[in-house]
Structure 1
């Protein structure tokens, strides 16, 4: 009986190719896709060719990302933001174009939303924490009763401006900084994407700074009233890390070459 567990490399008969169903099962188990509440339909959203030899990865699903994946020769596109979010949609307009693009190319589409934010190895937050050398990490960032982010300590105290510059070098985008707290960064919380609502939790944990993606108007005053700095580094830019790391993990596991499709939104 073939072992299809995430730790196994015996699931594929030849390195460099793997049956789609084997790969999807491995991804579902590795990402533990059913463990967290999520409006996204995590997992295989569109079925394409039955053998995977090349992988593309992108943050978002769009007609452009699907077409570029197909043009690159990929058999599967891994995304953070998929096409289906828990409600029925008519196959019309842009939604039809996206579905048609995938079907015409016989391209598989696999989405991992909250599971890829929260994953301890290849998750967006885990990868950012590692890149920023965060130490003494602990769970942070409540999502419907589950912690999907990380909090910890930087190895040395930095000024808020120096920290924002460091994040800018990491993401390639200029950060928006709300300096509501002390003028330096030591104890940091990270929630990728839409984490602006985590300021109160950061304050309760004694964190001086929150790193997240995009601002929300209703949380604007929280930084200043709770006394917590917030560094907004972009929803897109804080969520490139997971799909890239996951694609690289597939290369390690199955020998599948991969390509990241960088299609920034500016948000």
Structure 2
């Protein structure tokens, strides 16, 4: 005699869809919560992108084609990196000090949904400034770009990684210390990172340091996406970038869980 057993219904797919829905709803709530500051953030990004292009243009004068490409592709990269490494820690640190971050963590949603929604919001905020930085660089230096088909996902990866690093820094460090670190990072990104100039111009020890830091891989990925006929993305740099993204996500998630 054959015994038929009813299939056990699985809840993995509904649970997964519910997690995605919660993440998107949290992201929407965060955007509405910061709606009064969003126009100012966009203005700051536009100013940063244009100021970087104009300022470097004043320093170098009439650059050769390769230098012009470095400067034109460096401006949008600086905008992406600065939003993630400077604006994110400052805003998260302020939320920690005023207590709003602790209140939000009391909501009945998974901590990973809370983290991903925040990163999604900051990634979206960084994209308009990056696009305007590309336009400003092309107009100022009169360069011809060769866009790669994977430019958009590459840009999202860079923005997400920068936001993840900044978020991890803001949750793992005391708020005041995190804000001080962001002030130093501004000068590091603008002056002491191979974003708008080749790494060969830096001292050997600084070149070696940037081989393990995420800033140079971010610049290489955006540069190769905007001018694929001139620049390439080394495989090692992509691995370093993905490692920093994964480590930052894990660090931020553990910090949020520990401070429940």
Instruction: Report the TM-score when normalising by structure 1.
Output: 0.30
Q: Which has the higher strand share?
A: 1
Q: Which has the higher contact order (CA 8 A, sep 6+)?
A: 2
Decide which structure has greater helix share: 2
TM-score, normalised relative to structure 2: 0.30
Look at both structures and tell me which one has the larger radius of gyration over its CA atoms: 2
